Structure 1
Amino acid sequence: MPHGQLAQLHLNFPCRGTGDYQIDYKPAPRISEADKTNDQRSLQRALDRRLYLLVHGTTHGSDSGKPVWHFPEKVYESEETLRKCAESALESLIGDLSHTYFVGNAPMGHMVIQPTEDKKTPSIKRFFFKSQVIAVNKFDIKKCDDFVWVTKDELLEYFPEQGEFLNKMIIS
């Protein structure tokens, strides 16, 4: 082809879809079976809200050593970053992290737990990382007594004494 000329390609498709068509579309319901049965172990509930994972078991820094509801956690040891520590904590519960996405490298918040009056428990800094579930409806959660997926409002019922902090940290 001589210099300065353009090659043009014209595609001609036959007209399809001419005429009137009626598409019967019915959106899926927002209320799932898990909502109707209040199945907090299911990710198929409160489909229009964010859900947060809580696990039941012993937690670091607990005064009594009794099992309580808490976020997945791990004591920072020798990981490269705090995020790697958070990933390790979640991986110990759900195994493969291929269906999760950690939002950013920095924590979304932190709180300092002061020592108890008897000074048996040192002060602890808890860092919170945000991660999201992607393209999966169920996890095989292990290494805990029980687990629940809760909305922000339900989360505040589990931790009423930290309600102000959680309201600031978590966007509905």
Structure 2
Amino acid sequence: MHERSWSAVPIIGEPPTETETGDGRRFFEVPESGWHALFAWAAGPEHMVRCLDVRPPAPVNVVYESGGQRTVRVEERTRGDRSAVDADIHDYLTDARVPSQPCGFRWFIELPDGIDDADQFFARFGPALKNLPPGPRPRREREAMITVADALYTTAPRVHCEEAGGDGPA
């Protein structure tokens, strides 16, 4: 296993398609939150890829309250919105004692064998996260997530074409 480092995550030119990257590996996109970034950290760089985020910013819902009336408007995302998201991710990772995630990328986690989608992936962590021992929650989450991720990716190790010297998994 490689040392966990954001800079060790390979950069690819285009996001992986819904099913795979071309080498048989399947990925899902990591939602933009510190908690989800912690899952990516737990998976480790050998089970992630990233690409530059060149998409136009997604609009945001802005809630206005005045005189007991609540109005929701869709507005373009501002630099302040982007900064707030990045700051929230940074703060959560800092609380978990994980280095800050580089900005400007879309992050993708490899689906382990036997897991079909992100929902199934996250569900595998449920029992470990539900029964955390007392202590600082993000740090305990990090420890539990790494333990579960290590088990998920070592139950059926995948041999890649280059390693096997053949056309596919051994």
TM normalised by structure 1 equals 0.22
- TM-score normalised per structure 2: 0.22
